[in-house]
Structure 1
Amino acid sequence: MNSKIKVIAFDADDTLWVNETYFREAEKEFAKLLSAYETENKIDQELFKTEIKNLSIYGYGIKGFVLSMVECALELSNYQLDQKSLEKILNIGKEMLEKPIELLVGIEDVLQSLQGKYKLVVATKGDLLDQERKLEKSNLLKYFHHIEVMSDKKEKDYQKLIRHLDIHPSEFLMIGNSLKSDVLPLLAIGSSAIHVPFHTTWAHENVPKEQESATTYLTVLNIKQVLPYLE
């Protein structure tokens, strides 16, 4: 690993704590709710299309997901959706927002080991209020020098963060579960990245196999395996 590294950034959702699992559970509830109108597979496809269409308006996070569910439900039901079902969709979102924070195994040990040796930051995307709430409930805030909730995680977004931290790209390491968001943009700007896969990945975060195989990056099976490369 690059010995110049001064700052280590951690993704939040599915790197620090469980997140995507709750979206899959919500999608199943949503499909069950609309089962009178379409098959589960068709509902999943249409919801995903609606989410992607709305990303530029709502951004990432639970609130945008709920709005997309409402829109998708109205369209699939030909605008016949009853008020009770609409209320149930809103409650799916509220339940997601109130989920307890389930830290991933080993994350606190890793943060304790690295604190003081590097400047640690969170670099995540999503809804600002929701991410701040999760960080507060996680009891991990004490480990981090800086929290960055980004509207997206493209090269220009990371470059802006690195400028804010007043470091060279080669002094920055990103650790996260998404190749698309946490690894490939960093390698493209001359930073380092470690991929820690989570068992569930949103389809939007998948990258084509040829792009995946054309890039060299470090993958570890769990977060504790980053320590030998950094200590």
Structure 2
Amino acid sequence: MLLEIDNITLLYGRIQALHGISLHVNEGEIVALIGANGAGKSTTMRAVSGLRPIASGAIRFNGEDISKLRADLRVVRGICQSPEGRGVFPGMTVRENLEMGAYMRRDAAGIAADMERVFGLFPRLQERIRQQGGTLSGGEQQMLAVGRALMGRPKLLLLDEPSMGLAPMLIQQIFNIITEINKQGTTVLVVEQNAQQALSRAHRAYVLETGSIVKEGTGADLLHDPAVKAAYLGVA
């Protein structure tokens, strides 16, 4: 088991955002978290990456309790995130943004090889290599955010709403690339409102509602679950 979230709670002030969430991600999987706005999906991701402290419970990665570990040290352990809203550095070039993803690394040859891997996945980024991040289209910025996370050479890639604001053709392309990243050996935990795409790609998935997990199963099972179809797939 690569990631284990064990009965965690998380507070925003006096508001409890997560209510005893437990889930796990095995090495080599794509695992999806789906749910409506405000369900706690992004909060769960921030707990895993160390951007929000948990109030109780435990988060274990590769068997190590990382519940109190600083966010930057979680990156060193192999947890890298592409955040909701992309968060590219607008005044930096594509190359500089990608280099920022490798800021904790010192292996120059490995960094160069990983940059070539990113360009293989996202040829558009190579075409835009000297362009500032803030001048890219929404789809290109999403590619850059994912590419930057890959530059940390993650054991676990966290993707928070990778399809947000993208045209349907680009959403398909992004999820094709997520599947390819997984086939190349990277474990993926993805938070996504586009339940159709997420469940069709995920090995397993969890459904979050108001800070609690209400369903779990294989991606295929949840894709065909009547309650999930009615709530998230627009199918009565």
- After TM superposition, is the score higher than 0.5? no
Structure number with bigger Rg: 1
TM-score using structure 1 length: 0.30
TM-score using structure 2 length: 0.29
Q: Which is strand-richer, 1 or 2?
A: 2
Q: Which is helix-richer, 1 or 2?
A: 1
